[in-house]
Amino acid sequence: MITRRQAIGSTLSLAATTSLGPIAACAAAPSAGRLKQSVSRWCYEKIPLDDLCAFAAKIGMQGIDLLQPADYEVPRKHGLRCTMGYAADGMTIANGLNRRENHAAIEAAFRVGIPQAKKSDVPNVIAFPGNRRGMSDEEGAANTVAGLNRVKRIAEDNGVTICLELLNSKVDHADYMADHTAWGARVMEQVNSPNVKLLYDIYHMQIMEGDLIDTIRKNIKWIGHFHTGGVPGRHELNDTQEVNWHGVARAVADLNFQGYFAHEFVPAGDPLPALREAVRICTV
């Protein structure tokens, strides 16, 4: 199983050889439908960012996900935006908001990083609670609420949304605390800010709990962003996967979701055609 922390290996070796030839050969798509689709940078990290942006714009996407501040301006040259940024480097998947001793450093980072995101028209920044390491879910939730309450005014004042990511603890991120929608929704309800939401990763939540469409419908008011990824393996959104991606995309669009639907899968084959096909499948 591949996570964003791991090397992409042979898939990205293939991507590294991709030139603008295939990009130019792809037919332009006038629209990606009712959803604002974007793509996570780390899945295509061996493709030059400018080339990825050019291709994304050509197939009707609206942005690039998970960029560092140094790259925020690159998508704008192509009529796109960074749809999710890293604004607090000290906060990691394993070490985050569920420990009160981290709160001061996270707040200091967000006081710099969130205005920086606003300046570059980045609507969302990512956040993590961290691993349990023996901590109860109740204590972790209380600590995460306290940490988010400390920084939510920064997000509100700048019109940027902090998105707390839901990840699986079964396959990719052992011991991660925000591994069920109910835990995340409880935290969101207590923080109760229009600028603090969940990043609902469909790949991760399919592994942990399934029941995707009904869960999304019940919790859409707490969801600010989506990630995709084929199950099993986090590869292409095709007929080898167990999720009905067109059905999920349609359900999200029918809820009048105004955030971004970002593709975060690692292509097992030719990467750019795989991305184009994902956009086609999720166009509703």
Q: First-to-last CA distance in the chain? A: 29
Buried b (16+ CB within 10 A) or exposed e, 199-212: bbbbbbbbbbeeeb
Q: What is the DSSP letter of 126?
A: E
| 15: confidence class by pLDDT, cuts 50, 70, 90 | very low
pLDDT value at residue 20: 39
Residue 225 pLDDT exceeds 70: yes
CA–CA distances in Å: residue 206 to residues 2, 48, 92, 127, 234: 16, 31, 22, 20, 11
Residue 176 has φ and ψ, to the nearest 5°, of -65, 140
Render pLDDT for 114-133 as a digit per residue (tens, 0 to 9): 999 999 999 999 999 999 99
- Residue 238, classed as helix, strand or coil, is coil
Residue 33 pLDDT exceeds 60: yes
| Segments making up each domain of the chain, as ranges | 31-281
> Beta partners for 38?
63, 262
Mean pLDDT for 175-196 is 98
Residue 229 pLDDT exceeds 70: yes
- Residue 218, classed as helix, strand or coil, is helix
CB 95 within 8 A of CB 113: no
CA–CA distances in Å: residue 144 to residues 111, 186, 212: 18, 11, 24
Render pLDDT for 138-174 as a digit per residue (tens, 0 to 9): 999 999 999 999 999 999 999 999 999 999 999 999 9
Residue 24 pLDDT exceeds 70: no
Residue labelled with tokens 């996967």: 241
What's this model's pTM, rounded to 2 decimal places?
A: 0.89
Residue 275 pLDDT exceeds 50: yes
Mean pLDDT for 264-277 is 96
Cis? peptide before 129, omega within 30° of 0: no
pLDDT value at residue 7: 38
Q: Rounded to an integer, what distance in angstroms lies between the CA atom of residue 132 and that of residue 153?
A: 26
Q: Superfamily for 31-281?
A: Divalent-metal-dependent TIM barrel enzymes (3.20.20.150)
Least confident stretch, 14-18, 128-132, 261-265 = 14-18
Mean pLDDT for 49-65 is 98
pLDDT value at residue 89: 87
